[in-house]
Amino acid sequence: MTEFSRLSLNQKTVNRWSMPEALEGCARAQIPFIGLWRDKVAEIGVAATVKRLHELELKVSSLCRGGFFPARTRAEFETHLEDNRRAIEEAAQLETEVLVLVCGAAPDRDIVGARAMIAEAIGILAPFAQQNGVKLGIEPLHPISAADRSAIVTLEQANDLAEQFPLEQVGVVIDVFHVWWDPKVEQQIARAGPRILGFHVDDWLVPLPDPLLGRGMMGDGVIELRRLRRAVDAAGYTGPIEVEIFNQAIWDEPGDTVLERMKKRYLEHVLEPVLEPVLEPIFEPIHEPKQKTQEAL
């Protein structure tokens, strides 16, 4: 166990790196977990990715992403389900237990209808996931994305949805960027308990540079990361802590530089501070005035 034993690099944080570069960079930085993206895996294929993971002794914290369920037609909905079945199979092959779901938004104005489609899709997919040894992790997204990426926008809503299914099939993934603002976040983290399948850290920058590509490095924004990490720990979660940062400026930096800063910030802002033993003087020290001033005379 080292201080980085729970750290995971979500490969989107170093978006310019190819699949092999991300795996090698992660191993070089001695980060034990990596969060993978399907489009990146597709660059070299699942088999080659698994081979390299084994060679480098890396574990996969999660596969991003399934979801995007709502559709305009039944045929389109079925296509979305089929794509998610492939994602579940890939997660199993990549030896991760967690497929992260970004559930998708309404294709029209009907957000209530979109939510019904999401619930139906998860109900159809959940047993198939279990058969493959994979759990579906519903990730509530910040309401800024309600119109184009996810009609699931609070942890309470994700918990309500997850609890409709067996613990072995469906859980939640908590990203601080998406939930930090919520007055019920600690209550809902406690409620999620054994359903917590992932914990993502990053930060909320002020002002927000961009709705999608404006996430910050831990410590550069306003999120009380340590408070939320403590809440997730108290809920019983002992799994990987994944750093997922969508930020163009960070993407433009060399990957190794990003990983070094990420490890430093993880220690400073996410984990507990290491307490140095403090030797307090028992008596106030007596300072002899070095010279008498005019005023003192």
Q: Which residues bind a second copy (CB under 8 A)?
A: 106, 109-111, 115, 142-144, 146-148, 153-154, 156-157, 180-183, 204, 206-208, 211, 221-224
Instruction: Indicate the residue among 143 and 254 with the shorter CB distance to a second copy.
Output: 143
Instruction: Indicate the residue among 10 and 145 with the shorter CB distance to a second copy.
Output: 145
171-209 burial: b if 16+ Cβ within 10 Å, else e: bbbbbbbbbbebeebbebbebbeebbbbbbbbbbbeeee
Q: In the bound complex, what is the minimum distance in angstroms from residue 81's beta carbon to a second copy?
A: 23
Q: In the bound complex, what is the minimum distance in angstroms from residue 84's beta carbon to a second copy?
A: 22
Q: In the bound complex, what is the minimum distance in angstroms from residue 138's beta carbon to a second copy?
A: 13
Q: In the bound complex, what is the minimum distance in angstroms from residue 119's beta carbon to a second copy?
A: 12
DSSP element (H, E) containing 178: helix 176-179
Q: How far is CA 90 from CA 52, 53, 85, 122, 257, in A?
A: 15, 14, 9, 17, 30
Instruction: Indicate the residue among 50 and 111 with the shorter CB distance to a second copy.
Output: 111
Q: At residue 78, what is the residue type? A: E
Q: At residue 7, what is the residue type? A: L
If you ran DSSP here, which 8-state letter would residue 284 be given?
Answer: P
Instruction: Indicate the residue among 204 and 237 with the shorter CB distance to a second copy.
Output: 204
Instruction: Indicate the residue among 99 and 151 with the shorter CB distance to a second copy.
Output: 151
Q: In the bound complex, what is the minimum distance in angstroms from residue 171's beta carbon to a second copy?
A: 19
Q: Is 60 helix (H, G, I), strand (E, B) or coil?
A: strand
Question: Quick one: how far is CA 274 from the chain centroid?
Answer: 24
Q: In the bound complex, what is the minimum distance in angstroms from residue 211's beta carbon to a second copy?
A: 6
Instruction: Indicate the residue among 20 and 219 with the shorter CB distance to a second copy.
Output: 219
261-288 burial: b if 16+ Cβ within 10 Å, else e: bbbebbeebbbeeeeeeeeeeeeeeeee
Residue 109 burial (CB count, 10 A): 9
DSSP element (H, E) containing 24: helix 19-28
Residue 60 burial (CB < 10 Å; 0-12/13-18/19+)?
A: buried
Instruction: Indicate the residue among 48 and 249 with the shorter CB distance to a second copy.
Output: 249
Q: In the bound complex, what is the minimum distance in angstroms from residue 277's beta carbon to a second copy?
A: 27
